[in-house]
C-alpha cells in the first residue's frame, strides 16, 4: 500500500474511535515504524511500504484505537527539546510541566554563581531534572524516584541526551538522602508529585488511563504528597533555597497555605500559558 493511502485509512480508523489528534497520531506511529521524520512522509507519500511495515503499523493503530498512549507505543516523547524514552512505569512528560522548568530556571538565575545543587523529587523519566541540567551545566542535579524502573529509565535518558551533571537515585521522597552533609543544602528543590484526587474525572480519560496511578493520585483531595514535600523539604534546602511545586489548577491556595504554615517566605504562585495557577513556591529562611 502507498504511504499516503495507508495514512488516510489509519486516520479514519482513529477518528472513528474518537481520537482527537488522529492524523498526527497516525503520522507519528508510521514515522516510528519507518524510522523517519514527518517531513519524509510528505515527500514520499507515493512510495509503497512492504507487508512487514504495514503489519507493524496496523498493530500500533489497533493499540491506539484501544486508547494506548502514543508515547508508550513509540517509547519516546519530546520534552524541553530533549528526546526522552518513556515507559508505562512513569508519567508521560507533559507540556504543562514546562512551566515548572521555566520557574526553576528563573530562580536559578537569581540564586547566582554555580556550583549549586537542584533536587527533583519523583523524577519519573527524568524530564524536569534533565531539562534543568541541560540549561545549567554548572549545577549538580539529583533526581529521585521510588520506582526503580523509572530511575533506570531516567539514567538512560541522561545518557541518550549526553547530560552528565545529573545523578538518579531510588528513594522514597527524601529517604535515601543523608540528613546532613552533602545531601542537605540544595539551592532548589522541585517536584511534579501526584496531585489528583482519587475521584478526579480525568483519571478515566485519554492517556491518563494508562499511566501509573501512584504517579497521579494522592490522598487528601490530591494534596497529601504536596503537603509532605513542603514539610520535608525544609531539612534539605540551603538557606534562601526555593521549593517549587507543580499542582492542579485549583490547588494554588492550599499549597501557598501549606508553604506559609511551614515557615516559607516569599510564597507565590505562577500561572501557565492558559492563566491557571500551576506552580507554587516559597523561599526557606532558617531561623537566625
Ligand atoms: N497534570 C496531570 C494530569 O492532569 C497530573 C500529573 C500529576 O498528578 N502530577 O493528568
- Rounded to whole angstroms, the Cα distance separating 163 from 140 reads 11
State whether 120 and 166 are in the same domain: yes
Please check whether residue 184 lies inside any domain of the structure: yes
Residue 113 CB-density burial (10 A; 0-12 exposed, 13-18 middle, 19+ buried): exposed
Instruction: Output the average pLDDT for the chain.
Output: 95
**Domain end point (choices 22, 44, 67):** 67
Indicate whether 133 belongs to any domain. yes
Final residue of a domain: which of 20, 45, 67? 67
User: Is the CB of 279 inside a 6 Å radius of any atom of ligand 1?
Assistant: no
Is residue 128 in contact with ligand 1, taking CB distance under 6 Å? no
- Do residues 103 and 46 both lie within one domain? no
Q: Which of 92, 100, 192, 212 to mutate to test the pocket of ligand 1 (most atoms within 8 A of CB)?
A: 192
* pTM to 2 decimal places: 0.93
Which one of 43, 67, 91 terminates a domain?
67
Distance from residue 8's CA to the centre of ligand 1 (Å):
32
Q: Residue holding cell 541526551?
A: 161
Model pLDDT, residue 179: 62
* Candidate from 94, 125, 244 with most ligand 1 atoms within 8 A of CB, to mutate: 94
Q: Assess if residue 93 is contained within a domain.
A: yes
Q: Does the structure show a pLDDT above 90 at 98?
A: yes
- Residue 193 falls within a domain, yes or no? yes
Q: Is the pLDDT of residue 222 over 80?
A: yes
218 burial type by CB count under 10 A (0-12 exposed, 13-18 middle, 19+ buried): buried
Alpha-carbon gap, residue 3 to 20, rounded angstroms: 22
pLDDT at 122 over 90: yes
User: What pLDDT score does 138 carry?
Assistant: 93
| Structural domain that includes position 201 | 80-284
In a domain, residue 72? The reply is no
Sheet holding 265-271, edge to edge: 166-170, 140-145, 117-121, 186-191, 237-246, 277-284, 265-271
Looking at ligand 1, which residue's alpha carbon is closest to its atom 1? 248
63 and 89 together in one domain: no
Distance, CA 217 to ligand 1 centroid (Å)?
8
Residue 200 Cβ inside 6 Å of ligand 1? The answer reads no
Listed in sequence order, the residues at least 6 apart from 6 whose beta carbon sits closer than 8 Å to its beta carbon are 30, 49, 54, 57
Is residue 74, in this structure, part of any structural domain at all? Answer: no
Number of domains forming the structure of the chain: 2
What local confidence, expressed as pLDDT, does residue 112 receive? 75
Give the pLDDT score at 288. Answer: 66
Same domain membership, residue 97 and residue 29: no
pLDDT for 12-34, tens place per residue? 999 999 888 999 999 999 999 99
The answer to whether residues 252 and 217 belong to one domain is yes
Task: Take atom 5 of ligand 1 and give the residue whose Cα is closest.
Answer: 216
Q: Which of 127, 147, 196 should be mutated for ligand 1, with most atoms under 8 A from CB?
A: 196
CATH classification of the domain holding 270: 3.40.50.150
Position in ligand 1 atom list of the atom nearest CA 96: 1
pLDDT at residue 95 is higher than 80? yes
201: pLDDT strictly greater than 70: yes
Q: Specify whether 23 is located in the same domain as 110.
A: no
d(CA 258, CA 118): 21
Torsion angles phi and psi, residue 46, rounded to 5:
-90, 0
The fraction of the chain above a pLDDT of 70, given in percent, is 97
Which of 61, 118, 120 lies closest to 93, judged by CA?
120
- Say what percent of the chain tops pLDDT 90: 91
Instruction: State in Å: Cα 81 to ligand 1 middle.
Output: 21
Residues 106 and 153 in one domain: yes
The pLDDT value recorded for residue 115 is 79
Amino acid at each position: 500500500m502507498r504511504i499516503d493511502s495507508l495514512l488516510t485509512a489509519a486516520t479514519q480508523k482513529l477518528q472513528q474511535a474518537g481520537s482527537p489528534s488522529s492524523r498526527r497520531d497516525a503520522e507519528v506511529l508510521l514515522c516510528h515504524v519507518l524510522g523517519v521524520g514527518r517531513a519524509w512522509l510528505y515527500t514520499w507519500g507515493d512510495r509503497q511500504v512492504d507487508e512487514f511495515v504495514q503489519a507493524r503499523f496496523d498493530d500500533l493503530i489497533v493499540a491506539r484505537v484501544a486508547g494506548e498512549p502514543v508515547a508508550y507505543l513509540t517509547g519516546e516523547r519530546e520534552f524541553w527539546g530533549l528526546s526522552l524514552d518513556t515507559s508505562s512505569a512513569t508519567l508521560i512528560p507533559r507540556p504543562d510541566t514546562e512551566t515548572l522548568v521555566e520557574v526553576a530556571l528563573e530562580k536559578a538565575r537569581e540564586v547566582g554563581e554555580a556550583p549549586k545543587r537542584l533536587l527533583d523529587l519523583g523524577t519519573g523519566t527524568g524530564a524536569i531534572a534533565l531539562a534543568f541540567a541541560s540549561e545549567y551545566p554548572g549545577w549538580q542535579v539529583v533526581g529521585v524516584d521510588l520506582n526503580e524502573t523509572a530511575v533506570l529509565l531516567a539514567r538512560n535518558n541522561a545518557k541518550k541526551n549526553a547530560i552528565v551533571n545529573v545523578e538518579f537515585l531510588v528513594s522514597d521522597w527524601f529517604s535515601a538522602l543523608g540528613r546532613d552533609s552533602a545531601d542537605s543544602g540544595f539551592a532548589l528543590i522541585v517536584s511534579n508529585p501526584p496531585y489528583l484526587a482519587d475521584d478526579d474525572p480525568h483519571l478515566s480519560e485519554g492517556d491518563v488511563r494508562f499511566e501509573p496511578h501512584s504517579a497521579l493520585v494522592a490522598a487528601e483531595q490530591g494534596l497529601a504528597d504536596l503537603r509532605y514535600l513542603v514539610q520535608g523539604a525544609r531539612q534539605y534546602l540551603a538557606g534562601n533555597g526555593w521549593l517549587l511545586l507543580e499542582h492542579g489548577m485549583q490547588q494554588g491556595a492550599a499549597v501557598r497555605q501549606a508553604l506559609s504554615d511551614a515557615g516559607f517566605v516569599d510564597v507565590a504562585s505562577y500561572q501557565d500559558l492558559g492563566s491557571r495557577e500551576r506552580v507554587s513556591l516559597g523561599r526557606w529562611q532558617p531561623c537566625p
